[in-house]
Structure 1
């Protein structure tokens, strides 16, 4: 990638697993769910079927904890042939409530990076998920004052980003997006001619994976940590 960021005016950040921990909590919840339904199926089968249910419901519920919980409930009914107890359903709801009430755990150096950037660039948050949940996490994070604009997208696709940049009144060449998902935070930006920096997270939702060809053919920057971006912006 040509790491020439001299024309950058606006820097966008993904939220979940870029600024704070998120996917880890979903993996933990899936394990709890599998234990609750262990009398009906194996953990691996339950995990596979739950993912299929999430994908089926995605156009209806969107992203986030609430849609995830509804998919768990529906999956529990299906796997048990509608014999699952009301107590088990209550425990599934409790899993969801516990996820929503999790503390916001910032990733290393996030606030330091935002402080360094805030006086030089216009910073925005571009995320997807449940609006109420994302607003709650942002408020809990203590980071809200760093952002000029907050956008919760139903999907992170090229046309969504193009509309966002038009709203911000900037050209793609003036925008840098930083995120952990190649599918959502990187490749759509490359497609429209913007800059993108990928920070891999140790856990990735299956829905966010891309082919090796897509990952290697696009022109973007890969960072070991969020703080690495500073050396490129200072050049």
Structure 2
């Protein structure tokens, strides 16, 4: 049985985590939100799960390091400086950061990487995502995760090949580009499709999230997996063994 601390416990994901932790036979060590004592939470936890905000990441990493416990980071909207901080923390404790903790999305990213690696650059890749009206970042962390999977499959960098926010007379699509489209509305938990469009044929790989509990289940499974491991930066692929 693990003692799992929830960072961002007042949000929808925090509430879903509390339910899943209990269902999994573990114990909620406690929860904090903005301004809470993350160091104190870490001291009484076996692992932290963070679904808070990018601005809180550095403090949450320091708390995990101070307590010597692993941390799962599901917060999206991270920038390069956040990833640098995660890399630094991973030298001291086990860290798993992902744009999506769903086991289904993890497998989808694996399939996208495989498809992109086997199809030539004449197959265009477009990523379409839709989320609820309150989501503040776009493209979603999951869309970027899928874009990175496609780029990795092709042996290219996403930063140099992504196309976003097309509007007006944009000209022809660049060969090898990975396009993104973000839709927002209603209460959609998460819809993602990766379209690979070739000459007179098209492949669509999709995932639908029906409830936030799927992300909570994946995060708890990741926390279970991290406990007892050596310091390092881990991935959901490793949790699934793919």
Q: TM-score, normalised by structure 2?
A: 0.28
- Structure 1 or 2: more strand by fraction: 2
| TM-score normalized with structure 1 length | 0.29
